[in-house]
Chain A
């Protein structure tokens, strides 16, 4: 799996992502700067976490309009898989590549803690190494992770398997306590219609080593590496 990680000004989890991708695929991802207008030939494009442009105006708003995003959009339209994590998810919604929006956390506070995710659709190239209903403990770290979409969009997502992950408690229930940010229906991640673009708020890349935070995040990267080998 050849991958590219896009670096926006203010990205800060690009190296975490590089390490996770390299661990799963054995190949070093290319780092592409936001001012670049060309992308190398890759099997996966990743938008990492951080505070692109300081999250000023709206999280992801300015990065979504940066030069490199035109090329990301073209590749996505051709079917090249795109993964956005945290700020990457925010950028993808701002760019219109994923439905919905990420609003300020309901607590109005930044939240960094472990959350439990439940895989809602295991029939995609991102989730091939998971089972539907499988639970994973991974950290989240964000200020604006409160997922919102209108009722029609939510229904469409629900009906088409567009919801990728939900926040759940230890028993797998979508409780309010399990929801770190007030997301609608505990949504933690969504796919586009063709299931080739995934955005999620938590950080599977920070849960790929038993010494820091466990290994539940590996399933995503190993599944991708297998599907895109």
Chain B
């Protein structure tokens, strides 16, 4: 089973990277970009075939390692 984990900064947490990218896009002439927030996508392949168990395992992975829940949110997407 394949999964994608999207890790994003929590609302309100300063995102220096997003800010710098936003600025650089403006400098390259891309107008109308109102906000940029940078996150991470982590792709996983799991041996687990049961969706519920996979989700539970992924949730634990996110809490323990993949995301820093002090400043980050995560979303789990099972892709097949």
Contacts and interface: CB of A to CB of B under 8 A. Distances in A.
Task: Report A-B touching, CB under 8 Å.
Answer: yes
Interface of A: 53-54, 56-57, 62, 65-67
Of A53, A56, A62, chain B has the most CB atoms within 10 Å of the CB of A56
B2 to A, nearest CB: 24
A53 B18 CA distance: 11
B28 interface: yes
A62 B16 contact: no
Given A57-B20, A62-B21, A65-B28, 11 more contacts: A53-B24, A54-B20, A56-B16, A56-B17, A56-B21, A56-B38, A57-B17, A57-B38, A65-B24, A66-B27, A67-B27
Nearest to B19: A56
A66 B28 CA distance: 8
A56 B20 contact: yes
Contacts of B28: 65
Nearest to A63: B24
19 contacts: A53-B20, A53-B24, A54-B16, A54-B17, A54-B20, A56-B16, A56-B21, A56-B38, A57-B17, A57-B20, A57-B21, A57-B38, A62-B20, A62-B21, A62-B24, A65-B24, A65-B27, A65-B28, A66-B27
A75 B24 CA distance: 23
Contacts of B24: 53, 57, 62, 65
A57 B18 CA distance: 8
A221 to B, nearest CB: 32
Nearest to A62: B24
Nearest to B17: A56
